[in-house]
Amino acid sequence: MPQQLLSVTGYPGPQESMGRMLIADSVIVGAAHNLNKRWIPLLLCVGLGTITGVSFIFSGVETPVFALFCLTAFLGGLLSTWSPCGYSSLSLLRPAEPYSLSSLGHWLPTLAAHGVGYLVGGLVLATLLGPVGWLLPASAGGLTGWTLAALGAVGLAYGLHQLGMIRMPYPQRRAQVSHRARMHLPMWQTGLLYGLQLGLNFLTYVRSPILYLVVIAAVLSGSIETAALLLLSLNLGRFLPILVNATPLADWMVQRWMANHDQFALRLDACISLFAGTLLVVWSLA
């Protein structure tokens, strides 16, 4: 993955390669080579994950593995859209100006259609991933045993990737949702289209690699129902940021806030992966 450039506003900057402008797969925390921004989150999250896992084991409490996956998926989805890049599409789905209760009421069908798009996208992706799990002998036992260790290793690896310490595969389609659709369709239909594209998760840029952890867990679960719940948890997190459009906040204010907190969000993304990965590895040893 090429090193990410940052503009003065905090947005990912373009890169020129072979005469073309490219965008890096993700922003790397610690681009300023500040070791504290790498090692402190790493040690803290791995330590907390280890302590939490050991405490669950010795307390005799039933291990809430599925709840952890759903929570991790939800937070990964939230961080996928709650970013300057992710909000660039949602900013096109704002109520008509001037802001009023009337304009908000006319906007509600767009909100509902956008949610339906995420729902359909998540169910379609789960339906595609479910049969893949059935073909894998490793998925026969579900999310238990060594599969937890493998998933934990994936979480740790992508956490290190987000901290810029290693490089991991980052499959994605380098594209955004079709902004031109708003020029030719009613807003509610555009919202539906955007929700479907984003809900399928692999038709646009991948902001958070937590998506890969969720997808692998969905496959190894060997269950369409489990895959659907995991992906719908992810998509619920992706959907919620659009609710900021229900407020009278100006688009530029939201974008500026996201740009100012972009690095924090990326460190948080790394911490979630590291904590969840460590917890899964500890649980697999019980």
Nearest-angstrom CA–CA distance, 135 and 219: 10
Whether 27 maps to a domain, the answer reads no
Which value, in Å, is the radius of gyration of the alpha carbons in the chain?
20
Structural domain count of the chain: 1
Whether 24 maps to a domain, the answer reads no
On average, the pLDDT of the chain sits at: 84
Domain residue limits at 152? 35-284
Residue 204 and residue 197 in contact, taking contact as beta carbons nearer than 8 Å = yes
Whether 86 maps to a domain, the answer reads yes
More confident residue, 18 or 111: 111
In the chain the first and final C-alpha atoms are separated, in Å, by: 36
Res 190: pLDDT: 92
Whether 40 maps to a domain, the answer reads yes
Q: What is the pLDDT of residues 27-69, one digit of tens each?
A: 444 444 466 678 888 999 999 999 999 998 888 767 788 999 9
The segment with the largest mean pLDDT, out of 112-121, 203-212, 220-229, 249-258, is 112-121
The mean pLDDT of 133-157, rounded to a whole number, is 80
- Confidence band, pLDDT 50/70/90 cuts, at residue 24: very low
- Confidence band, pLDDT 50/70/90 cuts, at residue 75: very high
Task: Identify which of 47, 30, 79, 82 has the alpha carbon closest to the alpha carbon of residue 211.
Answer: 79
**Alpha-carbon distance values, 188 to 105, 181, 191, 192 (Å):** 12, 11, 5, 6
- Confidence band, pLDDT 50/70/90 cuts, at residue 182: low
Q: What is the pLDDT of residues 3-23, one digit of tens each?
A: 333 333 333 433 433 444 444
Whether 149 maps to a domain, the answer reads yes
Q: The pTM is what?
A: 0.85
Res 8: pLDDT: 31
Res 110: pLDDT: 96
Res 122: pLDDT: 96
Whether 14 maps to a domain, the answer reads no
Whether 25 maps to a domain, the answer reads no
Whether 142 maps to a domain, the answer reads yes
Nearest-angstrom CA–CA distance, 157 and 277: 8
Nearest-angstrom CA–CA distance, 236 and 228: 12
Q: What is the pLDDT of residues 120-144, one digit of tens each?
A: 999 999 999 877 877 776 555 577 7
Partners of residue 15 on adjacent β-strands: 22
The segment with the largest mean pLDDT, out of 19-23, 175-179, 229-233, 264-268, is 229-233
Res 141: pLDDT: 59
